[in-house]
Structure 1
Amino acid sequence: MTKRIVLIGGPSTGKTTLLNALRAKGHTCLDEVSREVTKAAQEQGVDQLFLTQPLLFSQMLLDKRIEQYKLAPSLNKDLVFIDRGIPDVTAYMDFIGQEYPENFKSACLDYKYDHIFILPPWQDIHTTDQERYESFDEALNIQNELVKTYKAFGYSPIEVPKTSVDERVNFILQNLDICR
């Protein structure tokens, strides 16, 4: 049976770097979908879809994250690592104070992950770019919202220490009892 392991954390906490390191070790990983949605909107002339149409952007993310959730078992792997989960969508909406339909919460309850690892804000690695525009202070507030949201849906996220990428990978694998 496939276990879905989600990496969460505010912007610029090292999730993508960690996912790439897990992938390099032969693990199956599913990438963050928000950059894909943002880039597609930018190609249509919308600089930041989340800022201009947060509900549309979030519905698109929700749909894509549900697709990832459903895809995981078909990959025929014991573990599938995922960059962000379905509850991230409601956490970000709560962060900006945007109301959303009940199906957002229902999805968080209907599609449950096996393990959640949270990467803490880390000012030394925090950067911004075309898709990641949040300041470090905003990243801290997003982090708090993520923790609150995941706990509200019954998760106990395991915090990954601020160490080297290899040490972070080993920490996760050890916590999953599969360190080789």
Structure 2
Amino acid sequence: MTVHLHVITGGPGSGKSRLIEALAAEGLAHMPEAGRAIIQQQVAIGGAALPWADRMAFAELMLGWELRSHQEARERGVPVILDRGIPDVIGYLQVCGLPVPHHLWKAAELFRYNRRVFIAPHWPEIFQQDVERKQDSVEAEATHRSMVDVYTRLGYELLPLPRTSIPERVRFVRANLP
């Protein structure tokens, strides 16, 4: 386990990315989310590894992204906030009803994060769909439940983020970093 790697996870539209942007603005190192970047890249090149086209290919690209993010963050040697982690790829496949390949479980077991993982609860009042986020609120809530299941199964301690303002969430995260 790498204690200086801090994951923030949860379902889509729960305020994770805005929180991470605010933490970064305060000087905390961070790694971006895989999903949005992969979608943008695949759309730009006319690729099919998209959640609405080839979900398994999309998951494999996310796994590659998360492995690279883990390595880069580990090499920094300072606290790093990660917008999701390898277990999120497992959760994604579970929500899609797809089988989780053995190598993905192996990656989640080998490439660990700080034991305490911040999880943003489903928050219907702020949930919004957009060009890359096509999931509806029901799927967003199912994603949250799947993240709880996967991270718990992998032995992480989940620390729910409060449903409050970004500055208050920033204070909460900072207060709970080692």
Name the TM-score class by shorter chain.
Answer: over 0.9
> Which stretch of structure 1 is more off in the superposition, 45-54 or 168-177?
45-54
Mapping 1:48-127, distance limit 5 Å: 49-77=50-78, 79-114=79-114, 115-127=116-128
> Which stretch of structure 1 is more off in the superposition, 87-96 or 42-51?
42-51
Q: Deviation of residue 51 (structure 1)?
A: 2.3
Q: Secondary structure at the match of 2:80?
A: strand
Q: Secondary structure at the match of 2:121?
A: coil
Separation in 1 of the partners of 2:113 and 2:107?
12
Assess if the C-alpha contact under 8 Å between 1:109 and 1:153 holds in 2. Answer: yes
> Partner amino acid for 1:167?
E
Separation in 1 of the partners of 2:132 and 2:125?
19
Assess if the C-alpha contact under 8 Å between 2:4 and 2:77 holds in 1. Answer: no
Separation in 1 of the partners of 2:147 and 2:51?
17
Q: Secondary structure at the match of 2:134?
A: coil
Separation in 1 of the partners of 2:3 and 2:76?
9
Distance change (3 Å), C-alpha of 1:122 and 1:47: farther
Separation in 2 of the partners of 1:39 and 1:67?
18
> Partner amino acid for 2:109?
L
Distance change (3 Å), C-alpha of 1:94 and 1:127: same
Assess if the C-alpha contact under 8 Å between 1:2 and 1:72 holds in 2. Answer: no
TM-score relative to the length of structure 1: 0.93
Separation in 2 of the partners of 1:127 and 1:107?
31
Equivalent pairs counted in the alignment come to 176
Mapping 1:1-180, distance limit 5 Å: 3-46=4-47, 49-77=50-78, 79-114=79-114, 115-177=116-178
Q: Deviation of residue 46 (structure 1)?
A: 4.8
After TM superposition, which residue ranges in structure 1, 4 or more long, deviate above 2 angstroms?
Answer: 44-48, 73-76
Segments of 5+ residues of structure 2 without an aligned counterpart are none
Post-superposition CA distance 1:48-95 (Å, at most 9, x none)? 712211111101100110101011132242x10000010000101011
Post-superposition CA distance 1:77-115 (Å, at most 9, x none)? 2x1000001000010101111113210100010011103
Q: Deviation of residue 34 (structure 1)?
A: 1.0
Assess if the C-alpha contact under 8 Å between 2:49 and 2:57 holds in 1. Answer: no
Assess if the C-alpha contact under 8 Å between 2:3 and 2:113 holds in 1. Answer: no
> Partner amino acid for 1:62?
L
Identity %: 31
Separation in 2 of the partners of 1:2 and 1:34?
24
Assess if the C-alpha contact under 8 Å between 1:2 and 1:76 holds in 2. Answer: no
CA RMSD of aligned residues (A): 1.5
